Amino acid sequence: MAFNLKGRNFLKLKDYSQQEIDYLLTLSKELKAKKRAGIKGDLLAAKNIALIFEKPSTRTRCAFAVAAKDEGGSTEYLGKDDIQLGKKETVADTARVLGRMFDGIEFRGYKHQTVEILGEYAGVPVWNGLTDLFHPTQILADFLTIEENFSQLKGINLVYTGDGRNNVANSLMIGSAIMGVNFTVVAPKKLWPEKDLLNEAKALAEESGAEIEMTEDPSKGVKGADAIYTDVWVSMGEEEKFAERIELLKDYQVNMEMINNTGNSEVIFLHCLPAYHNSETENGKKILKEFGISEMEVSDQVFESKYSKVFDQAENRMHTIKAVMAATI
Determine if residue 167 is labeled as part of a ligand binding site: yes
Same domain, 121 and 246: no
- Which pLDDT score, from 0 to 100, does residue 213 have? 98
- Which pLDDT score, from 0 to 100, does residue 157 have? 99
Measure the CA dihedral 220/152/205/111, to 10°: 90
Same domain, 298 and 176: yes
300 given a catalytic annotation:
no
- Which pLDDT score, from 0 to 100, does residue 270 have? 99
62 given a catalytic annotation:
no
Same domain, 120 and 173: no
**Residues in Cβ contact with 134 at an 8 Å cutoff, skipping those fewer than 6 apart:** 11, 12, 13, 112, 128, 167, 170, 171, 174
61 given a catalytic annotation:
no
The amino acid at residue 118 is L
Q: Is there a domain that residue 49 lies in? A: yes
Peptide bond into 274 cis (omega under 30): yes
pLDDT in tens, 71-109: 999 999 999 899 989 789 999 999 999 999 999 999 999
- Which pLDDT score, from 0 to 100, does residue 280 have? 77
How many domains, in total, are found in the chain? 2
Considering Cα of 320, then 235, then 229, then 216, what sign does the dihedral take? negative
Residue 119 near residue 11, CB atoms below 8 Å: yes
In order of 14, 31, 86, 208, 244, the CA distances from 17 in angstroms are 7, 21, 32, 11, 38
Q: Is there a domain that residue 301 lies in? A: yes
- Which pLDDT score, from 0 to 100, does residue 1 have? 58
Instruction: Say how far apart CA 109 and CA 120 lie, in whole Å.
Output: 17
Determine if residue 100 is labeled as part of a ligand binding site: no
Judge whether residue 41 has pLDDT over 90.
Answer: yes
Judge whether residue 123 has pLDDT over 70.
Answer: yes
List the catalytic residue out of 103, 272, 313, 319.
Answer: 272
Closest CA to 222 of 159, 296, 302: 159
112 given a catalytic annotation:
no
Q: Is there a domain that residue 311 lies in? A: no
Judge whether residue 117 has pLDDT over 70.
Answer: yes
Same domain, 283 and 322: no
Q: Is there a domain that residue 7 lies in? A: no
Of the chain, the end-to-end C-alpha distance in Å amounts to 18
**What number is the average pLDDT over the span 222-250?**
91
**What number is the average pLDDT over the span 240-256?**
92
Q: Is there a domain that residue 145 lies in? A: no
- Residue 67 exposed, middle or buried by CB count within 10 Å (0-12, 13-18, 19+): buried
Mean of pLDDT over the chain: 95
- Which pLDDT score, from 0 to 100, does residue 265 have? 98
Judge whether residue 307 has pLDDT over 70.
Answer: yes
Same domain, 123 and 174: no
**What number is the average pLDDT over the span 2-11?**
93
Q: Is there a domain that residue 29 lies in? A: yes
Region of poorest pLDDT, from 49-63, 200-214, 257-271, 276-290:
276-290
Same domain, 65 and 123: yes
Determine if residue 57 is labeled as part of a ligand binding site: yes
List the catalytic residue out of 108, 112, 271, 319.
Answer: 108
Instruction: Say how far apart CA 304 and CA 161 lie, in whole Å.
Output: 18
Could you tell me the pTM of the whole model?
0.96
Same domain, 19 and 93: yes
Same domain, 125 and 51: yes
Same domain, 302 and 181: yes
**What number is the average pLDDT over the span 14-40?**
97
**What number is the average pLDDT over the span 48-71?**
97
Residue 95 near residue 39, CB atoms below 8 Å: no
**What number is the average pLDDT over the span 52-57?**
96
List the catalytic residue out of 22, 103, 138, 253.
Answer: 138
CATH number of the structural domain spanning residue 193: 3.40.50.1370
Same domain, 22 and 53: yes
Instruction: Say how far apart CA 189 and CA 174 lie, in whole Å.
Output: 19
Q: Is there a domain that residue 147 lies in? A: no
pLDDT in tens, 262-300: 999 999 999 999 998 987 777 777 777 787 777 899 999
Same domain, 98 and 177: no
Same domain, 85 and 186: no
Determine if residue 219 is labeled as part of a ligand binding site: no
Determine if residue 236 is labeled as part of a ligand binding site: yes
108 given a catalytic annotation:
yes
Which domain range does residue 296 map to?
157-225+227-263+268-306
Determine if residue 61 is labeled as part of a ligand binding site: no
Q: Is there a domain that residue 5 lies in? A: no
